[in-house]
Amino acid sequence: MLTFELLATDGLARRGRLQLNHGSVETPAFMPVGTYGTVKGVMPDALVEMGAQIILGNTFHLWLRPGLDVLRQFGGLHRFENWQRPILTDSGGFQVWSLGASAKVTEQGVHFASPVNGDKLLLTPEVSMQIQAVLNSDVVMQFDECTAYEVDGRVTGEEAARRSMQLSLRWAVRCRDEFARLENPNALFGIVQGGMYENLRAESVDALAELDLPGYAIGGVSVGEPKAEMERIVAHTPQRLPAGKPRYLMGVGTPEDLVYGVAHGVDLFDCVMPTRNARNGHLFTRFGDLRIRNARYKTDERPLDSTCACTTCRGFSRAYLHHLDRCGEMLGAMLASVHNLHYYLNLMREVRDALDAGEFATYRERFAADRARGV
């Protein structure tokens, strides 16, 4: 089940409410990534406390470990990972793409060797739908071929991008049919592909819209392309998707990317950046980014961000976080992850408040000025 209510607009920016089987999501929203059934380094209760409304899981990885027998025993991913709010699962298309030459793409699906034990496997649109039905994820993503930005150092040409996009469209039809056959009560999203070619993106949008799916995603960005190319596609594509359906920008990105995406009509975002960067000592704050490994923070008694209400900023100094990071202590990565996720989730909360007040343009200017000010 999915309903999407558009509550307000400000230019192309949208304020909405998404109702799913495990609860509602106020949009625009950021979705923390929990690839293996866990958002790395963060307890589920902490995610709830900081305002996470929906998180991600990954079809490919959960299929391999712990496997469908275990997940079926628990009735799906929610009980298994003790998360009772909505979950979106990626279809596995990006993961098999990331395997590179070791994966063979055919009309049937993708043949590859398991990175866990070497078993020969075949992931098809039908198998992806079957796995995601077992996971019981609230939002199921179609199985697609993620069009690479470049292959062997060369930017993917238009004809190759067209073939890839059209394959994803054929797979979308197969996903829709299998999703219906399984009588999955959740929601299936299609994925727009087409590389960096606006005409192909438009063709993909038109074909997917004819399928009348509950929601749509923009894939094939954040795959190594220059920032300007990503921004060009984000400026082009979301507004062409059906206005009454939620729009999801996959795998993006920095705080600036999120605000840019909202300004161009995106409703949902995900990215591993908050937790991955946290584990590498890269912290996001209202006033710019901070590298906690820098020696300048060795005796700094201030919190990471004086305006932040997260557990980390309420209780710990930059000096302590610097110490934990330099010593490789697990708590350092955990506290940094809590802060970065809180920052992202609070950023989206502020964006929603600005849209509610009809002040998004003003907020966007203030956001940019604050981020440029520096820590």
Residues belonging to the active site: 90, 270
- Rounded Cα distance between 195 and 198, Å, is 8
- Rounded Cα distance between 270 and 5, Å, is 21
78: amino acid identity, one letter: H
Contact between 189 and 142 under an 8 Å Cβ cutoff? The reply is yes
- Rounded Cα distance between 85 and 79, Å, is 10
33: amino acid identity, one letter: V
DSSP letters spanning 60-83: HHHHHTT-HHHHHHTTSHHHHHT-
Upper half-sphere CA count for residue 144 (Cβ side, 13 Å):
32
**Which is it for strands 120-123 and 87-90: parallel, antiparallel or unpaired?**
unpaired
Helices (H), 105-157: 125-135
Upper half-sphere CA count for residue 54 (Cβ side, 13 Å):
29
Q: In this structure, what token pair is assigned to residue 129?
A: 């739908």
- Rounded Cα distance between 345 and 351, Å, is 10
367 is in an annotated binding site: no
- Rounded Cα distance between 206 and 200, Å, is 10
308 is in an annotated binding site: yes
Q: In this structure, what token pair is assigned to residue 85?
A: 């709010």
92 is in an annotated binding site: yes
Question: 241: buried, middle or exposed (CB in 10 Å: 19+, 13-18, 0-12)?
Answer: buried
3-state helix, strand, coil in the chain (%, to 5): 45, 20, 35
Question: Helices (H) and strands (E) in the chain — how many of each?
Answer: 15, 18
- Rounded Cα distance between 224 and 277, Å, is 17
Contacts of 69 (CB under 8 A, 6+ apart): none
Q: In this structure, what token pair is assigned to residue 80?
A: 């298994």
24 is in an annotated binding site: no
269 is in an annotated binding site: no
339 is in an annotated binding site: yes
- C-alpha 78: how far from its chain's center? 18
175 is in an annotated binding site: no
137 is in an annotated binding site: no
Binding residues are 90-94, 144, 193, 220, 308, 310, 313, 339
Binding residues for substrate are 90-94, 144, 193, 220
Binding residues for Zn(2+) are 308, 310, 313, 339
